[in-house]
Chain A
Amino acid sequence: MSGARAIVEALEREKVEYIFGMPGGANLPFYDALWDSKIKHVLCRHEQVSAHVADAYGRVSGKAGVCSATSGPGATNLVTGVATAFADSSPMVAITGQVSKAMTGRNAFQETDVIGVLTPVTKYTIQPLSAAEIPAAVKKSFFIAQTGRPGPVLLDIPKDVQQEEVEITFPESVQIRGYRPSVAVDSRDVERAAEMLVKAQRPILFGGGGIRIAGASEPFTALAQLLMAPVITTLQGKGTFPEDNPLSVGPIGMHGRAEANKIVSECDLLLAVGVRFSDRSTGNFHEFAPEAKIIHIDADPTEFNKNKMVDLSILGDANEVLMMLFEAVARRAAKKTDDNAWLKHLEEVRETMKGIPAYRDSYSELSGPKIVKAMREVLPPESILTTGVGRHQMWAEIHYRVLRPRTWITSTGLGTMGFGLPAAVGAKFARPDVPVVDLDGDGSFVMTEQALATAVEHNLPVVSVILNDRSLGMVEQWQRLMYNRRYIGIRFQNIPDFVKLAEAYGVEGRTVGSLAEFRKNLKEGISGDSPMVIEVPVSHEEDVFPFMPPGKSIKDTVYGTTKESAIF
């Protein structure tokens, strides 16, 4: 059997359904072997798109998405997409062709040291040097990508290794000495945590992306209900706890919900699950949750005390730990009611914050906040929303309630513009049964717009909603608020006509002039059987608030630019 055939068979054994990628000189033997396989190849138009599609497929399905690229520029084009997956702990296997072993180090055509380039942004890299090593290499790649704290794995395979004909055997399992993703949970830590939780007067549960990864929303929600504790999330953790639940206070952070940022500053116990205390969530680490004892549950021990010192850390799978913790708490205390001082205080905070400009409907009709609220009204709860990066994403953070896990797909760690549309394509491949919408900005969208071609070829009814402010709006906001309105490099003098752009790809494109028109078009978009682009012209001057300036703490939050904002 050839090495190339061995890759394909190993992928089939991993039950891979799709490969998102592009062929080229150094991976042609692999592509030739794919010709005979049931695995479907999805042709992208740029390797960054391939990687984002695979990333989102992984986030939605929980199985590693597979992308493939040729050597040299094909591999280097993957970098942004792989780094995005790494930053958000998304399972992915990236397969690159490499020049033949004999050509290594000779500056051969399309030779790049992709192991050197990608090592800092991957969980692991593997380069089999003989065809016989391929089955174990593929198995290791998936095992590492999908277990523990997931992440992207690079499998770089020289062309001559793909072509080599040898006797091949496929292992059932692989051993990796330095990698033990599952650990036994220390039940004494769980008992201590339960003790702290039942004693706390003002507890808060804080959920991150790790809950989605572990599939732990159910015990997380059950624990919140048992304790009747308010729940906040990170931006990545949105939807791990249903945001229409009365206990949900929403995401904290730079553009978090005002009441969430306020209440976390007052809690006496913070149970953080699958979070990494990112600066965008906490602001100044030292001033975050100043009155709280902190319990931190995570699958990655290097996250403990990395950014924020905690009082108790529990290593393990979030699902397992939370189920144990629920038991331990239930043994100690009966289910609390909502008749307690802490929840009453939460209600007061909510009431007060209703007055902030960002929560009053003072925005113009076609504005980010009103559009994302309208999206929530139109989209069924199971719909998946992907985003680009910028103000549109932050408006969704504040105003779009995510109701189910794995229905909010956004690049938070790396903050990669151009993620939204490819992510929608990947999400649709993973969940063809639910509506998938990309909420995007004009700046983000044009970075990877060519993913429309793939959406058309596969009849994917993904809807792109582009908030077009003809500007790099988030940067504009920062220049306005922090750089004394010295605007530079943000205004697009020339932007495409998004309707014509869509049509050029064979996609239905529309521009809307009112909220009613937007709702109508979005409804049509999600009930159609082909892609659609909806452009929403918005003002470039409407900023996202509340806003906790970088490096500052929650008490420094800016609620708006008007005088009345200063009272909060």
Chain B
Amino acid sequence: MRSNKVLSVLVENKPGALFRVVHIVRLMRLNIEGLTLGVTNGGEECRMTITVSGDEAAVEHVARQLMKVIDVLEAHTYGPEEMDSRELALVKINTDRVSLAEVQRNHSARIVDSSAHSAVVEVVGSAQQIDDFVSGLGSANVLDIARTGVAALPKEVQR
């Protein structure tokens, strides 16, 4: 069964921790489609949110094996309905073909920068909302995209 789960991994904030985590993900041949991380809890810890595609059993296996990694403090998997998630994307638009005003009117996009022929806009939302925004523009009108990957926290305090 294909998975659309994310791995939420809390690690000690030290060099090599990401390497140890990614090694286990790679071992189970999961593709990483999104990876966000940032230090938390006063700099002692680092929260990683890893969006993976692959076999669901493999994702669960990874989460369990991650608990054995000594730098890992917590590792859980969450389905889309179990978490609050947001992603940020920077989208460079061809303004010769698309009206920037229209983009702003129709979407909650914020202009980051604009030049003679292009503009960079920022969109924040669920991964699906960003997908919808980009496809709504039409691929010919999008010059480039940089997505951060999903940051997520479980809806419950603790599972």
Complex CA distance for A125 and B73, rounded to whole angstroms: 17
Q: Is A178 an interface residue (CB 8 A)?
A: yes
User: How far in angstroms is the closest Cβ of chain A from B42?
Assistant: 13
Q: Is the CB of A179 within 8 A of B61?
A: no
How many positions in chain A have a CB within 8 Å of any CB in the partner chain?
A: 16
Q: Is the CB of A178 within 8 A of B61?
A: no
Extra contacts besides A124-B70, A176-B70, A178-B11 (20): CB < 8 Å:
A116-B19, A119-B19, A119-B20, A120-B27, A125-B16, A144-B70, A177-B73, A178-B12, A178-B69, A178-B70, A178-B71, A178-B73, A179-B70, A300-B68, A301-B64, A301-B67, A302-B64, A302-B67, A306-B61, A306-B64
For B72, list chain A residues within 8 Å (CB): 178
Q: Most A CB atoms within 10 A — which of B69, B70, B72?
A: B70
CB of A118 to closest CB in B, whole Å:
11
Q: Which residues 95-116 of A have a CB within 8 angstroms of B?
A: 115-116
In the complex the two chains form, what is the Cα distance from A119 to B23 in whole Å? 8
Which residues of chain A from 171 to 218 have a CB within 8 Å of any chain B CB?
176-179
Residues in B with CB closer than 8 Å to A115 are 16
Q: B1-41 CB contact bits vs A (8 Å, 1 = yes)?
A: 00000000001100010011001000100000000000000
Please name 28 pairs of A and B residues whose Cβ atoms are closer than 8 Å in the assembled complex, sorted by A: A116-B19, A119-B16, A119-B19, A119-B20, A119-B23, A120-B23, A120-B27, A123-B70, A124-B70, A125-B16, A144-B70, A176-B70, A177-B12, A177-B73, A178-B11, A178-B12, A178-B69, A178-B70, A178-B71, A178-B72, A178-B73, A179-B70, A300-B68, A301-B67, A302-B64, A302-B67, A302-B68, A306-B61
Q: Across chains A and B, which 10 residue pairs bring their CB atoms closest together, nearest first?
A: A179-B70, A302-B64, A124-B70, A178-B73, A302-B68, A178-B70, A178-B71, A178-B72, A302-B65, A120-B23
How many residues of chain B have a CB within 8 Å of chain A? 17
| Closest chain A residue, CB of each to CB of B73 | A178
Of all chain B residues, the one with the shortest Cβ separation from A153 is B70
Question: Chain A: interface secondary structure?
Answer: mixed
Residues of A within 8 A of B27 (CB): 120
Chain A residue, CB-CB nearest to B63: A302
Select from chain B the residue with minimum beta-carbon distance to A125.
B16
Among residues of A, the one whose C-beta sits closest to the C-beta of B17 is A178
Give a binary string over A278-316; 1 marks a CB under 8 Å from any B CB, 0 the rest: 000000000000000000000011100010000000000
**With a CB–CB cut-off of 8 A, which chain A residues contact B19?**
116, 119
User: In the complex, which residues of chain A have a beta carbon less than 8 angstroms from the beta carbon of B20?
Assistant: 119
Distance in angstroms between the alpha carbons of A300 and B70 in the assembled complex: 13
Please report the C-alpha to C-alpha distance between residue A116 and residue B61 in the assembled complex, in whole angstroms.
22
Of all chain A residues, the one with the shortest Cβ separation from B44 is A177
For residue B102, give the distance in angstroms from its CB to the closest CB of chain A. 49
Q: Which residues of B contact A178 (CB under 8 A)?
A: 11-12, 69-73
**What 0/1 pattern do residues 83 to 113 of B give for CB contact below 8 A with A?**
0000000000000000000000000000000
Q: How far is the CA of A49 from the CA of B71 in the complex (A)?
A: 30
Distance (whole angstroms) from the CB of A458 to the closest CB of chain B? 35
CB proximity of A95 to chain B, nearest CB, Å? 18
Smallest distance from the beta carbon of B117 to chain A beta carbons, Å? Answer: 41
Nearest chain B CB to A147's CB is how many angstroms away? Answer: 11
A102 CB to closest chain B CB, in angstroms?
17
A144 to B64, CA, bound (A): 19
How far apart are the CA atoms of A372 and B20 in the complex, in Å? 43
Report chain B residues within 8 Å CB of A125. 16
Chain B residues contacting A300 (CB-CB under 8 Å) are 68
Cα–Cα distance between A125 and B27 once the two chains are bound (Å): 18
Question: How many Å from the CB of A50 to the closest CB on chain B?
Answer: 24
Cα distance, A470 to B39, chains bound together (Å):
59
Residues of A within 8 A of B64 (CB): 301-302, 306
The smallest C-beta distance from B101 to any residue of chain A, in angstroms, reads 49
Mark interface residues in B52-84 (1 if CB within 8 Å of A CB, else 0). 000000000100110111111100000000000
Question: Most chain-B CB neighbours within 10 Å: which of A300, A302, A306?
Answer: A302
